[in-house]
Copies of this chain bind each other. A is one copy, B any other.
Amino acid sequence: MVEVAEGELLLDAALEAGVFIPASCGGSGACGQCKVKIISGSAEALKIEKVHAAARAAGYVLACQSRLIGDVTVEIPQAKVGRKVIPRDEAERMRLTARPMESPLIPETNPMTIRVFVQAPPPSSHDNVSDDERIIRTLKVDHNIYPVTADLNVLRQVPLEVRNKEWKFTACLNVDDCLGSDQPRYRLSRVCSGHLGFPPTALAVDIGTTSLWGELVNLETGEVTARASRYNPQIAMGDDVISRIVYALKKDGSEKLQQHVVKGLNEIIEETTQRSGLPLESVNYLVASGNTVMTHLFLGLYPKFLRESPYVPAAQNVDPVPSSDLGLNLPPHSYVRVFPGVASYVGGDIVSGVLANGMWNADEMTLFIDIGTNGEIVAGNKDLLMTASCSAGPAFEGGGLEYGMRAAPGAIEGILMDPDTLEPMIRTIDSKPAVGICGSGIINIISQMLKIGIVNQNGKYAQDLETKRIRQGNSGQEYVICWARESGLNEDIVLTEVDLDNILRAKAAMFSGYTCLLEKIGLSVDALDRVIIAGAFGSFINLDHAVTIGLLPDIPREKFSFIGNSSLKGARLAAIDRKLFERSREIARAMTNVELSEDPAYMDNFMAALFLPHTRGELFPSVHVGFYG
């Protein structure tokens, strides 16, 4: 008996209930293995090719292709039902995902560039001031907008644009709030005859070491009109920030890295504008958040001293940069704003995440964990913000794993292991044939392998198990998650022991990081009011699995929430409301960075955490491993 949402697929319902149904094509309806018989109730069948007419008549459907309509009772063909069953309370808990969380901030529409429709009196022999003076005068008198300066490039266009529709024109003005002054300053960035036939937009982007994410925001409504993401093309120059810095210091390295990330961003610009049906010229600015290394490489700042003690960034507060200076395919009037960072390894992405999650303004003692390529942690509330980074590596983003990938169509995300046959039941993003495993999928699979005894607490595959799926590969033992015939790759998708080791080290780094940081404040994990998890996971992170492998602390599950890509969310908020961008500068200044790499306790904690879930089992009282066996 499982309660699920009406319209959910039968396969997903079974996955959540911990009821194993064989399924190896990821839910695409291709393998035909997930046939079940409907005993009562009804389900809407989407695809039926893989079910014979006779079987169909007998009530058989594909679980991955059947949407639930009301209460349904199904029978899973006997031959395939596992001997061992997952205990009910365990199954219940396995359904718990971190509560999805949106930013508590409600941005006001205060864009960095405002748009004003102006009707100025045409010149006459009694009033023949210059065009710039006429525009500035009208903005002040009719719109209370002053003081205004104008860029030469705009002034070059002004005479023809304003006369084209008899001095009815649209003026775009960049607003500078001038901290410490009540009166903002304005800079005329564009003048176009008549009304512009499209809304103003801005692009919010998260520049991750592994992935680039972008959202095109309508600045009139604050709505996202299109989203896009890409791998960061810099991956060709190294998986992590250190190897990127090393590359940057080679001849022309910095230029190449800069061009590569811009290439990726230009693709996102093209995709989001095309998909939203808005012209490129609608884009007024781009707000970027990224870690300090990514920010340096994007702006062409010298990165060498980021990785040499005492780890000093070249710059944190950069004025607006014309888009064209960076090679971005954006209109000439547009510019780029980059979130300020805190330190070499706590960047603008974390500041943006803190802005978005609202902890800077909250009473609750909060632990914020951003599981990106470089794991970062922030602990505190409105009175105190402590931060640290731990070199977790890109494993949780799928990086450095044989078949790891980011959360994109075809990524194996949901997984249920049959404790008897050791067969997996897999679910992919968008039901596409499997092409890899994303971060949340990896956490789910390792957790279950640990529970049913496929993997031991040292992160190695168990010996002598009766399954063809465990075999000797090129780099030690490996488990075949998806056979070549059912994958979208035409090759076996495997998880190797090297992959397991990568995950073990990544989760140990994260665990040691937040443990040390909390110790600095004098808190234990039990004293936390809440834990907010960020990261580019496919969907909400499965808490039970994440606690089971020792990534998240074993505290009451209701304290967890999952905010997704908070860096991107913060960038979007700042794009809509420039006052929030200014706020991010204050947040960055308020955050105190702790250099864990220089803290001996960090390494001790790290070593102790290289075990599943931990060498000190008492830290994870709710975790029981190998219990089905």
The interface of chain A, by Cβ under 8 A from chain B, is 123-125, 127-134, 147, 149-152, 155-156, 158-160, 163, 180, 299-302, 304-305, 309-319, 321, 325, 341, 343-344, 595, 598
Say whether, besides A152-B325, A155-B301, A318-B152, A309 and B125 are in contact (CB < 8 Å).
Answer: yes
Q: Verify A319–B152 contact, CB threshold 8 A.
A: yes
Q: Verify B159–A304 contact, CB threshold 8 A.
A: yes
What is the bound-complex CA distance between A152 and B313, given in angstroms? 14
Q: Verify B130–A314 contact, CB threshold 8 A.
A: yes
Q: Verify A156–B310 contact, CB threshold 8 A.
A: no
A-B contact pairs, 28 of them (CB 8 A): A123-B310, A123-B312, A125-B309, A125-B310, A125-B595, A125-B598, A127-B310, A128-B310, A128-B311, A128-B312, A128-B344, A129-B312, A130-B314, A130-B316, A131-B315, A132-B315, A132-B316, A132-B317, A149-B319, A150-B315, A150-B317, A152-B318, A155-B301, A156-B299, A156-B301, A158-B302, A158-B315, A159-B312
Q: Verify A343–B128 contact, CB threshold 8 A.
A: yes
What is the bound-complex CA distance between A152 and B296, given in angstroms? 11
Q: Which residues on the B side are within 8 Å of A299 (C-beta)? A: 152, 155-156
The closest CB in chain B to the CB of A126 belongs to: B310
Q: Which residues on the B side are within 8 Å of A304 (C-beta)? A: 159
Q: Which residues on the B side are within 8 Å of A127 (C-beta)? A: 310
Q: Which residues on the B side are within 8 Å of A163 (C-beta)? A: 305
Q: Which residues on the B side are within 8 Å of A134 (C-beta)? A: 312
Q: Verify A310–B124 contact, CB threshold 8 A.
A: yes
Q: Verify B598–A314 contact, CB threshold 8 A.
A: no
The closest CB in chain B to the CB of A341 belongs to: B130
Q: Verify B315–A155 contact, CB threshold 8 A.
A: yes
What is the bound-complex CA distance between A312 and B321, given in angstroms? 32
The closest CB in chain B to the CB of A188 belongs to: B319
Q: How many copies does the complex hold?
A: 2
Say whether, besides A124-B310, A128-B343, A310-B123, A151 and B319 are in contact (CB < 8 Å).
Answer: yes
Q: Which residues on the B side are within 8 Å of A305 (C-beta)? A: 131, 159, 163
The closest CB in chain B to the CB of A321 belongs to: B152
What is the bound-complex CA distance between A311 and B160, given in angstroms? 14
Q: Which residues on the B side are within 8 Å of A155 (C-beta)? A: 299, 301, 314-315, 318
What is the bound-complex CA distance between A310 and B126, given in angstroms? 8
Q: Which residues on the B side are within 8 Å of A309 (C-beta)? A: 125
A-B interface, 4 closest residue pairs, ranked by CB to CB distance from nearest: A130-B313, A132-B315, A128-B310, A155-B315
Say whether, besides A151-B319, A304-B159, A319-B149, A132 and B314 are in contact (CB < 8 Å).
Answer: yes
Give the distance to chain B from A154, nearest Cβ to Cβ, in Å.
9
Q: Which residues on the B side are within 8 Å of A151 (C-beta)? A: 319
The closest CB in chain B to the CB of A149 belongs to: B319
Give the distance to chain B from A231, nearest Cβ to Cβ, in Å.
26
What is the bound-complex CA distance between A26 and B131, given in angstroms? 50
Q: Which residues on the B side are within 8 Å of A123 (C-beta)? A: 310, 312
Q: Which residues on the B side are within 8 Å of A133 (C-beta)? A: 316-317
What is the bound-complex CA distance between A129 and B318, given in angstroms? 14
Q: Which residues on the B side are within 8 Å of A321 (C-beta)? A: 152
The closest CB in chain B to the CB of A161 belongs to: B302
What is the bound-complex CA distance between A149 and B319, given in angstroms? 7
Residue from the list B124, B315, B319, B595 in contact with A130, Cβ < 8 A? B315
Q: Which residues on the B side are within 8 Å of A316 (C-beta)? A: 129-130, 132-133
Give the distance to chain B from A124, nearest Cβ to Cβ, in Å.
6
Q: Which residues on the B side are within 8 Å of A317 (C-beta)? A: 132-133, 149-150
The closest CB in chain B to the CB of A163 belongs to: B305
What is the bound-complex CA distance between A325 and B153, given in angstroms? 10
Q: Which residues on the B side are within 8 Å of A319 (C-beta)? A: 149-152
Give the distance to chain B from A565, nearest Cβ to Cβ, in Å.
25
Q: Which residues on the B side are within 8 Å of A158 (C-beta)? A: 302, 314-315
Give the distance to chain B from A175, nearest Cβ to Cβ, in Å.
16
Other A-B pairs, 20, CB within 8 Å; known A152-B299, A159-B305: A123-B312, A124-B310, A127-B310, A128-B311, A128-B312, A130-B341, A131-B312, A131-B314, A132-B317, A132-B318, A133-B317, A151-B319, A152-B301, A152-B325, A155-B318, A156-B299, A158-B314, A159-B301, A159-B302, A159-B304
Q: Which residues on the B side are within 8 Å of A341 (C-beta)? A: 130
The closest CB in chain B to the CB of A185 belongs to: B178
Give the distance to chain B from A109, nearest Cβ to Cβ, in Å.
26
Give the distance to chain B from A516, nearest Cβ to Cβ, in Å.
16
Q: Which residues on the B side are within 8 Å of A301 (C-beta)? A: 152, 155-156, 159
Give the distance to chain B from A590, nearest Cβ to Cβ, in Å.
14
